[in-house]
């Protein structure tokens, strides 16, 4: 895997690489922090699953520390204000849903959308990462599959009562994901991560998950179309 980064002759120390990394690294650090906070909130909304959700939140804290080390390893200072702005749309929608006790919407935002985004981004990053970051990211992505699985299992078990809210939450949040992908495309390209690959991985993962939860192919086609206009 390491050969791809070498073949592409990625210069991890160039100013151009480090400048792009200061934003992507910040996005990942901010994302892991928000994922931590979101699982704590979900633990309060689902008291019978609190212990498991606290366990997930601790994994997210570890991920954050790992990615902070990746930035330090390249002598990059993450641009955290940029990252906070980057996440503000999903952040606000999660907060609003939590305040209204909409656990299904919260699960869709964190455990389906954000986790699928993470899985796509980390899988695309691993072959083009520096050696240090690759080892860290390989460990992290395994955890993200287990977080996606948590949301998938809960929503499968509660599918009938959740279906309408899931469709509405998808309609409100999927366009935000496409805007985020567009916003990060140029920086991702500098890291040898192509937007087309990110979109493809995201859609495969997200569509497969919706299918496992109980949506029909027809539902998934309709739900995926939201955001194409973003």
64 touching Fe ion, by CB under 5 A: no
63 touching Fe ion, by CB under 5 A: yes
21 touching ligand Y39, by CB under 6 A: no
The secondary structure of 10-41 as a DSSP string is --TTSHHHHHHHHHHHHHHHHHHHHHHHHHHH
Among 79, 115, 152, 201, binds ligand Y39 (CB under 6 A): 115
Closest residue by Cα to residue 64 from 32, 26, 23, 27: 32
**Is 127 in contact with 138 (CB distance < 8 Å)?**
no
147 touching Fe ion, by CB under 5 A: yes
**Is 78 in contact with 20 (CB distance < 8 Å)?**
no
24 touching ligand Y39, by CB under 6 A: yes
76 touching ligand Y39, by CB under 6 A: no
30 touching Fe ion, by CB under 5 A: no
193 touching ligand Y39, by CB under 6 A: yes
From ligand Y39, Fe ion, none, interface partner of 134 (C-beta below 5 to 8 A by class): none
Chain centroid to Cα 227, Å, comes to: 17
Among 114, 128, 166, 174, binds ligand Y39 (CB under 6 A): 114
**Is 225 in contact with 210 (CB distance < 8 Å)?**
no
Q: Which two tokens stand for residue 16?
A: 């151009």
Closer CB to ligand Y39, residue 70 or residue 118? 118
144 touching Fe ion, by CB under 5 A: yes
């Amino acid at each position: 895997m390491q050969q791809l980064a070498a073949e592409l002759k990625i210069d991890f120390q160039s100013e151009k690489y480090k400048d792009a990394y200061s934003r992507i690294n910040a996005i990942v650090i901010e994302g892991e922090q928000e994922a931590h906070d979101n699982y704590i909130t979900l633990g309060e909304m689902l008291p019978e699953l609190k212990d498991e959700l606290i366990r997930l939140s601790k994994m997210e804290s570890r991920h954050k520390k790992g990615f902070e080390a990746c930035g330090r390893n390249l002598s990059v200072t993450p641009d955290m204000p940029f990252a906070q702005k980057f996440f503000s749309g999903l952040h606000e929608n999660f907060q609003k849903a939590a305040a209204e006790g909409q656990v299904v919407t919260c699960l869709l935002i964190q455990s389906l959308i954000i986790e699928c985004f993470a899985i796509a981004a980390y899988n695309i990053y691993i072959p083009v990462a520096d050696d240090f970051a690759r080892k860290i990211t390989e460990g992290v992505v395994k955890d993200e599959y287990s977080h996606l699985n948590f949301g998938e299992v809960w929503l499968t078990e509660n599918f009938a009562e959740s279906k309408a809210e899931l469709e509405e939450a998808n309609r409100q949040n999927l366009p935000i994901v496409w805007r985020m992908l567009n916003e990060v495309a140029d920086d991702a390209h500098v890291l040898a991560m192509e937007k087309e690959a990110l979109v493809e991985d995201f859609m495969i993962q997200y569509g497969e998950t919706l299918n496992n939860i109980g949506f029909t192919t027809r539902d998934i086609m309709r739900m995926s179309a939201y955001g194409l206009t973003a």
